[in-house]
Amino acid sequence: MADLKARIIGTGKALPQKILTNADLEKMVQTTDEWIRTRTGILERRIASSAEATSDFAVTAARIALDNAKFSPLDIDLIIVCTCTPDMLFPSVGCIVQSAIGASRAAAMDLSAACSGFVYGLATAKSFIESGMYKVILLIGTDTLSKITNWEDRSTCVLFGDGAGAAILSAQKGESGILSVYLGSDGTRSDILKVPGGGSRAPLCADVLNSKSHTIHMDGQEVYKMAVENMVAASQQALALAHLTQEDLKIIIPHQANLRIINSVAKRLNIKEDKVFVNLQKYGNMSAATTIIALDEAQKSGVISQGDVVELVAFGAGLTWGAAIIRW
């Protein structure tokens, strides 16, 4: 099966209708539009309503990706949903999506690697397809970080948004497909980005809710340093595995967490600004959804054409990081 590649043949995205601007945040916490823009690059973000859950956006994105690929739900062999904000502990978002779209032939599961989730999902899908086990995989990156955000913490609440992106991967011969994926993690630094409450270590109770330990806790300076260092290394490793160099890239799509992180990564990699795709200003950090939504927008806006080499690179809680090289 070595001649088979996992090729992305369709993508889709779904976003909440509600837009939360920096001006809105000025009324919620002690912050300013200028402070948010200069330190993060974010102008607005999409926020799910109280009636919307992670799977709602996943389902919509999946249907759009299927239409884009001209595939039926019955063509899908496996559904992988990359998320750290599932609707509930079980069943998985994957099973909820399977039921909603009628993919009755498909196995389904969730994958948790936080903001690196979609890149981890690409590695998983690539392995399944290249082994010959599955031919068609629906891969989704979806999160509703607003549900686990402390809206009284001005250092974190300005960063996050909600959304979902989906890709249909098919086993195909030829030059196009996922050329390489590099993954990394460091569990010894899990303390700098975590949601400490709400799991089996500290189940939900009055104390957890009152202390807001069921929301995102982050050491911003440490996350910045670790993100830049490991995204640069992952980018270089993935290119080496694909036997390519930065000069071969048409575009790099970094995780959209903070414009300072993106600019620092690009500078260290010596990649010019016009080769870095950024949509952070519209959406903020959507965790596992960020890289696939950016890929969907880059492709559908004509930034990427057939034969172009694209790199996705991400960093998230865990700590986790990874990069993937794709020939479109």
Catalytic: which of 22, 68, 230, 255? 255
What is the Cα–Cα distance from 102 to 63, expressed in whole angstroms? 10
Q: Which residues pair with 166 in a beta bridge?
A: 12, 140
Cβ neighbour number for residue 141 with a 10 Å cutoff: 35
d(CA 11, CA 325): 17
> Where would I find the H helices in 27-106?
33-40, 54-69, 93-101
> How far does CA 248 lie from the centroid of its chain?
24
Helix (H, G, I), strand (E, B) or coil at 247: helix
Report the C-alpha gap between 263 and 260 in whole angstroms.
5
Query: What angle, rounded to 10 degrees, do the helices at 220-241 and 259-269 form?
Result: 40
Q: Which of 115, 157, 214, 258 is catalytic?
A: 115
Q: Give the three-class secondary structure for 290.
A: helix
| C-alpha distance from residue 173 to each of 7, 8, 183 (Å) | 9, 12, 24
Give yes or no: 285 in active site: yes
Q: State yes or no: is 115 an active-site residue.
A: yes
Q: Which residues pair with 167 in a beta bridge?
A: 11, 139
Residue 237: other Cβ atoms inside 10 A: 17
Q: Cα separation of 93 and 323, whole Å?
A: 24
Catalytic residue positions, numbered: 115, 255, 285
